[in-house]
């Protein structure tokens, strides 16, 4: 079998469209997971008992069911109840929601790692609760957990091909469409595999660098 560079050239327009969609999912999904994860963490860590129990139940359920099942549920089941989004929006919500339950645990670990003296100092200064969290606790917690959050961004990137299951035109789905049209599978799939490496590996190096700097 010979490598067909013309097949690569023909695939490039589809490929770049897939890259843009993949990066869009990654950015928006990460923002959703970080934001919602913080909400979950507040509910689990600072909420009253009647809040902690349902939040814990929901996050455990989401974390212990496959992302693909959640993706199919949002895309195929919710429309039966009158709730319908595009495939891209559904995929972004699914991946952000799924990973928010993991980032919630990271946030909790970071909050629990803040020394008790910091809480006592905030109390001694009579800081209101929102100032205690925003000015004292969260800045220290985020500094400790930034590398772990970065690792989940890489994990989200590697899970974006699952969104092809509902027709999202990310990189893998674009390669499948190209292969179906041309009956050439090696070149499109190889290009997509290399693209994932070129995105994920520098991101992993960045996370390691961040981890070393924050450890100083």
Asked if 29 contacts 156 with a C-beta cutoff of 8 angstroms, the reply is yes
d(CA 168, CA 22): 9
Please identify which residue in the block is written with the tokens 């560079």.
Answer: 5
Residue 74: name the closest of 62, 57, 56 by CA. 62
In this predicted model, what pLDDT tens digit does every residue of 180-191 receive, in sequence order?
A: 888 888 999 999
pTM, entire model: 0.89
In this predicted model, what pLDDT tens digit does every residue of 55-87 receive, in sequence order?
A: 999 999 999 999 999 999 999 999 999 999 999
Asked if 140 contacts 114 with a C-beta cutoff of 8 angstroms, the reply is yes
Query: What sign for the dihedral angle of Cα 20, 37, 102, 134?
Result: positive
DSSP conformation letters of 104-121 = HHHHHHHHHHS-HHHHHH
d(CA 202, CA 112): 30
Phi, psi of 77 (to 5 degrees): -90, -45
Rounded to a whole number of angstroms, the distance between the first and last alpha carbons of the chain is 52
Please identify which residue in the block is written with the tokens 């969260």.
Answer: 138
Instruction: pLDDT tens for the chain, 216 residues: list them.
Output: 577 888 888 899 999 999 999 999 999 999 999 999 999 998 888 767 778 889 999 999 999 999 999 999 999 999 999 999 999 999 999 999 999 999 999 998 888 888 888 878 888 877 787 788 877 888 888 788 888 888 899 999 999 999 999 999 999 999 999 998 888 889 999 999 999 999 988 888 887 787 777 666
Residue 120: name the closest of 140, 134, 145, 137 by CA. 137
Continuous segment of H or E residues that includes residue 56: helix 49-63
Give the pLDDT confidence score for residue 216 in this predicted structure: 62
With 0-12 / 13-18 / 19 or more C-beta atoms within 10 angstroms meaning exposed / middle / buried, residue 92 is buried
Please identify which residue in the block is written with the tokens 């099942």.
Answer: 69
């Amino acid at each position: 079998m010979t490598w067909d560079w013309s097949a690569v050239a023909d695939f490039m327009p589809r490929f770049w469209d897939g890259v843009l969609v993949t990066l869009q999912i990654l950015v928006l999904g990460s923002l959703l997971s970080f934001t919602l994860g913080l909400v979950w963490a507040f509910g689990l860590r600072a909420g009253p008992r009647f809040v902690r129990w349902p939040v814990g139940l929901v996050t455990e359920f989401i974390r212990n069911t496959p992302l693909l099942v959640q993706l199919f549920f949002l895309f195929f089941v919710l429309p039966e109840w009158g709730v319908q989004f595009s495939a891209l929006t559904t995929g972004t919500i699914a991946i952000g929601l799924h990973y928010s339950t993991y980032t919630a645990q990271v946030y909790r670990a970071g909050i629990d790692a803040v020394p008790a003296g910091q809480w006592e100092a905030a109390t001694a200064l009579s800081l209101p609760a929102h100032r205690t969290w925003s000015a004292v606790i969260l800045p220290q917690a985020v500094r400790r957990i930034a590398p772990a959050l970065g690792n989940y961004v890489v994990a989200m990137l590697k899970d974006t091909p699952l969104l092809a299951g509902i027709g999202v035109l990310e990189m893998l789905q674009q390669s499948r469409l190209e292969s179906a049209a041309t009956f050439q599978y090696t070149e499109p799939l190889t290009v997509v595999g290399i693209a994932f490496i070129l995105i994920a590996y520098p991101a992993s190096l960045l996370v390691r660098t961040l981890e070393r700097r924050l450890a100083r």
